[in-house]
Amino acid sequence: MKRSAYEALGQITQVGLNVLIPILGCMLFGSWLDKKLAARGVFLLIFTLVGVAAGIGNIVRLGKKL
- 5 within a domain of the structure (yes/no): no
Residue 54: predicted pLDDT: 97
Ramachandran category for residue 38: left, alpha or beta (phi over 0 → left; psi -120 to 50 → alpha)? left
Task: Check residues 23 and 65 and name the one with the higher pLDDT.
Answer: 23
| pLDDT, tens digit, 9 for 90 and up, residues 4-62 | 889 889 989 999 999 999 999 999 999 999 999 999 999 999 999 999 999 999 999 98
Range of the domain at 36: 20-64
Domains in the chain, number: 1
Please tell me the predicted confidence (pLDDT) of residue 31.
97
Examine residue 60 and state whether it is found in any structural domain, yes or no: yes
Query: Does 31 reside within a domain?
Result: yes
In a domain, 15, yes or no: no
Transcribe the chain into DSSP letters: -PPPHHHHHHHHHHHHHHHHHHHHHHHHHHHHHHHHHT-TTHHHHHHHHHHHHHHHHHHHHHHHH-
